[in-house]
Structure 1
Amino acid sequence: MTEKAAKKEEDASALKEKLSSLPAVDKLLLHPKVEDLADKYSKKAVKRAVREAISITRERLLSDDEEVEISEPSMISLIEDWLLVSHKTALRPVINATGIVLHTNLGRAPLGRDVLENVIRIAGGYSNLEFDLEKGERGSRYDHIAKLINEITTAESSIIVNNNAAAVLLVANTLANGKEVIVSRGELVEIGGAFRIPDVIEKSGAMLKEVGTTNRTRLSDYESAIGPETGMILKVHTSNYKIVGFTEDVPASDLVKLANKQKIPVMEDLGSGCLVDLSRFGLPREPTVIETVKSGVDVVTFSGDKLLGGGQAGFILGKEDTIKKVRQNPLNRALRIDKFTLAAAEATLLMYRDVEVALKKIPALSMITMPYDKTQMRVKRIVRKINSVPHPGFDVVSADDFSQPGGGSFPTADIPTRVVLIFPIEIGPEKLEERMRAQDPPIIARIAQERVIIDPRTITESDIPNLTDGILKAMEAI
């Protein structure tokens, strides 16, 4: 036998011995630590984890992995790791370091502590969702919040559905099914995910009738379009874009005067739905819900998880007789809110009884109005912490930049902020950003001009330790 053949036979024998030393499934299942895992997860899950751990180890042995261990502690560690990964939910909390406050892909408005506590309080048991405690009979889920909405917005009546697209769909179906909806060409909005106002109107059973041009629409355009087939006039606030220059549009109050003569309802979709005038914080002037209600339109719709700062919902409010028709539409049943949304909406709206409380305690508003000085202080803390640990190959500095409100609101707004800039010297910023996303919790940042940007505006105080630790771990992994 040649030396090469002898070596091959020796290696095969050693591999066979290692494979035979792999513990049996039943033996591992009887280990005290594994039994504890079965109590935590389930016997079925742990049994699968044991088999997976043995299979992974076997594959590593067959691939000549010299670092593989077959000891009991290493096997149990593999079992624990597999269980941890397999039981991790797909929907996970992340650290939003983009500076985009109402980041649609990251869930838009984060909820405040008071709101979360109310959701847990209501969702953790039974509630009077559709039960009238005074009369001892069935009630309406909408009654719990309607008075509060009406109080804050000055509307006569209101209802909530599961999102603003649903709100527009429901109102159009109620008021203009089989009829025409008149809308300016300059207001044919497309929202995220390629959902367009014309498509929503079409699905409602109404027919869209466009008037004017992209940049100029006059009252006479609406007047000429009104006919026997007109179901309603729709005004859409272009909250996610602006048309500037040679422009003209028609105020809602003028549309109301025109429509009242013809006994035609007017609806305005506000989109982002601002309840507070934020222009005193340097943001562009946006029409508020109260101003829109006072313009006299029959119905107003807007989102709950944008500038309102609550959970996803579509608010519908306006004239009593109009909202009554909307409530009675059978389609409303398919679009109605659940108790989680209702609990979040009520707790959020309660804070609007005092605007200063809302600005302080609603996270989205607090972030949008956060002063530059506060972002500067946070950046100093973050840079100091990261630079306290050696990280060759990376330069970490601070600079001025701009945050964005996001969520299809304030399209022209740039909010001055201070940011952390990370320059990877030897690799591209994409690699560092990828490693940051792999942390627990994942860190979502921006990349611009070959650098990773960390904006503290959307980072909470409790996020900072995980943020700095995650960035340092991401640097070490490269």
Structure 2
Amino acid sequence: MSRADRAPGASLPRPPSIDRMAKWPALASLIGRVGRPLVVEALRAWADARRGEADVADEQACARWCEHRLADLARPSQRRVFNLTGTVLHTNLGRALLAEEAIEAAVAAMRSPTTLEYDLADGGRGERDDHIAPWLCRLTGAEAATAVNNNAGAVLLALNALAAGREVIVSRGELIEIGGAFRIPDIMARAGCRLVEVGTTNRTHLRDYASAIGPDTAAIMKVHPSNYAVQGFAKSVSAAELVPLAHEKGLPVIEDLGSGTLVDLESWGLPHEPTAREAIAAGIDVVTFSGDKLLGGPQAGLLVGQRACIERIAKNPMKRALRLDKVRLAALEATLRLYADPGRLAERLPTIRALARPVTEIHAQAERLLPAFAKALGAEWKAGLKQVRGQIGSGALPVDLLPSVALAVTGRGLDRLAAAFRRLPIPVIGRIEDDTLLFDLRTLDDEPAFVAQLEQLAPELFLLSPERGRGRERGRGAREPSRPPLLTSPPSGREEHEGASPAKKP
């Protein structure tokens, strides 16, 4: 009975005390999962919302209400998803997946005290970089190495340690901006350096660097373009040309490789990406690159190079604010150890495995999945297979696309359908392109789990049908880098912005 139906003058139902309601058997399971304080908070909200209503003392109704209210709090905000966007290293979906060896090492470090900064030989204080520096030196040929929390931090630290208060020369064609408003001029300013631009957007010559060197010059910096490519009438100066000039003037050269890689990707039929070893061999004094992109490890910024430079960087007070914890160091060391056996990387490292996956294998998987996938969609949408091109992501090889195969859906209301897939127990994230909803299968590594939840799609489609969903706000999926139309050949140049808006149909 509602308040409106109650006779005038009738007394309003009063809720039991909060303490009494908290002892209801129907709430015991919820208290066991989320704890008594949160349930008590929900009970107070229930009593306020239902005060004067007949069901205010209804144990079962109250328990259902509290369960619903606390559902989001009881569920982790970071959820597992199927990344079927076509971007292997998707920034918004967590970039690289760790190898099992790295996961095991991280879990072991979390469970117990470790020798993070402890020397077992003499019982004294140790150095946390010692866990990863020998491996980085072995794999790159560098004299010394250190690591911080991400590559932006690595660049900031290197500039501050080697050039604070002085000038750093950079080509105008390398003054990049990537996702999250990471801009080289801004990083320079925060590092306390003065930027000196040389050359033009599309052409920079060695003489441009030479003429810019002055008494206040502290370093020369090269920056990987990451999310774009300049082609056509273009000229840049290679490290092999730049290093002799810099060293003649007594200047260090810093190179930010961005994604960076420790192996030649051509081994798996992929386009060449500059490696850290190549940069060191060319004489670069400090090379920075990411740990959680092409390297396939945890988030980290790695610095390798000439010993005197790395030691100055490691002693900078800012290093402490940017340092890695024991869990990431354990995962990073385990990941680096895998590179000692490059012939098995495609088996053991998820990033390389996804990038190197043969199209024939992806196509076979697509054919296996199509019948169950089409059945789950029903009659409103048409399902098929489509040859597509994906990308590595996170600024790596922005022009070169990866051939793949996608489950493709056409029909009206693709936004509704995409939302239904995102509401599955393990949300499925795809992309809409050319009036087609695409689920690129290159990164689908758990086929049974994907198939098992397709039967739950039908209720979601009913809830999101035009009649049921009118007036509801449509959900939005994880953002993915902007993508060009489907191409038959690689584009001449395009920009991938980490964290850009989702690709939408025209």
Q: TM-score, normalised by structure 1?
A: 0.89
- Aligned with residue 417 of structure 2, among 403, 409, 432: 432
Does the CA-based 8 Å contact 2:3-2:52 persist in structure 1?
A: no
Does the CA-based 8 Å contact 1:382-1:464 persist in structure 2?
A: no
Do structure 1's residue 247 and structure 2's residue 234 form an aligned pair? yes
Do structure 1's residue 79 and structure 2's residue 66 form an aligned pair? yes
Do structure 1's residue 167 and structure 2's residue 154 form an aligned pair? yes
Q: Aligned-pair distance for 1:87?
A: 2.1
Larger radius of gyration: 1
1:475 matched to which residue of 2?
461
Where does structure 2 lack aligned partners over 5 or more consecutive residues?
465-506
Does the CA-based 8 Å contact 1:240-1:411 persist in structure 2?
A: yes
- Aligned with residue 459 of structure 1, among 429, 440, 444: 444
Cα distance in structure 1, aligned partners of 2:163 and 2:426: 47
Cα distance in structure 1, aligned partners of 2:38 and 2:453: 32
- Aligned with residue 277 of structure 1, among 264, 269, 275: 264
Classify 1:277/1:471 alpha carbon distance in 2 versus 1 (closer, same or farther; 3 Å): farther
2:209 matched to which residue of 1?
222
- Aligned with residue 340 of structure 2, among 332, 348, 353: 353
1:329-344 matches, within 5 Å, as: 329-344=316-331
Larger displacement relative to structure 2 (28-37 or 316-325): 28-37
- Aligned with residue 33 of structure 2, among 40, 43, 53: 40
Cα distance in structure 2, aligned partners of 1:10 and 1:82: 23
Do structure 1's residue 286 and structure 2's residue 273 form an aligned pair? yes
Classify 1:468/1:46 alpha carbon distance in 2 versus 1 (closer, same or farther; 3 Å): same
Letter in 2 for 1:391: G
Does the CA-based 8 Å contact 2:95-2:292 persist in structure 1?
A: yes
- Aligned with residue 221 of structure 2, among 214, 234, 245: 234
1:121-132 matches, within 5 Å, as: 121-132=108-119
Does the CA-based 8 Å contact 2:168-2:195 persist in structure 1?
A: yes
1:296-445 matches, within 5 Å, as: 296-389=283-376, 391-425=378-412, 428-445=413-430
Cα distance in structure 2, aligned partners of 1:48 and 1:353: 54
Q: Deviations over 1:83-106 (max 9, x none)?
A: 332222323322212011111111
Q: Deviations over 1:221-280 (max 9, x none)?
A: 111111111101101122321111111111102111111111111111100101121124
Classify 1:114/1:200 alpha carbon distance in 2 versus 1 (closer, same or farther; 3 Å): same
Where does structure 1 lack aligned partners over 5 or more consecutive residues?
1-7, 63-68
Q: Aligned-pair distance for 1:301?
A: 0.4
Does the CA-based 8 Å contact 1:190-1:196 persist in structure 2?
A: yes
| 3-state SS of paired residue (1:405) | coil
Q: Aligned-pair distance for 1:466?
A: 5.8
Q: Aligned-pair distance for 1:74?
A: 4.2
| 3-state SS of paired residue (2:27) | helix
1:136-151 matches, within 5 Å, as: 136-151=123-138
Larger displacement relative to structure 2 (73-82 or 105-114): 73-82
- Aligned with residue 87 of structure 2, among 80, 97, 100: 100
Q: Deviations over 1:431-460 (max 9, x none)?
A: 222232233332221011222211111222
Q: Deviations over 1:391-417 (max 9, x none)?
A: 231222111111111101111111111
Cα distance in structure 2, aligned partners of 1:473 and 1:309: 37
Q: Aligned-pair distance for 1:21?
A: 9.2
Q: Aligned-pair distance for 1:218?
A: 1.2
Classify 1:335/1:16 alpha carbon distance in 2 versus 1 (closer, same or farther; 3 Å): farther
Cα distance in structure 2, aligned partners of 1:310 and 1:211: 35
2:187 matched to which residue of 1?
200
Letter in 1 for 2:426: P
Cα distance in structure 2, aligned partners of 1:381 and 1:355: 31
| 3-state SS of paired residue (1:183) | strand
Letter in 2 for 1:195: F
Letter in 1 for 2:432: I
Classify 1:157/1:199 alpha carbon distance in 2 versus 1 (closer, same or farther; 3 Å): same
| Percent of aligned pairs with the same amino acid | 40
1:209 matched to which residue of 2?
196
Cα distance in structure 2, aligned partners of 1:415 and 1:112: 22
Does the CA-based 8 Å contact 2:424-2:453 persist in structure 1?
A: no
Classify 1:364/1:85 alpha carbon distance in 2 versus 1 (closer, same or farther; 3 Å): same
Q: TM-score, normalised by structure 2?
A: 0.85
Cα distance in structure 1, aligned partners of 2:8 and 2:207: 88
Does the CA-based 8 Å contact 1:149-1:349 persist in structure 2?
A: yes
Do structure 1's residue 186 and structure 2's residue 173 form an aligned pair? yes
Cα distance in structure 1, aligned partners of 2:123 and 2:2: 84
Cα distance in structure 2, aligned partners of 1:235 and 1:197: 11
Letter in 2 for 1:46: V
Letter in 2 for 1:164: N
Residues paired across the two proteins, number:
463
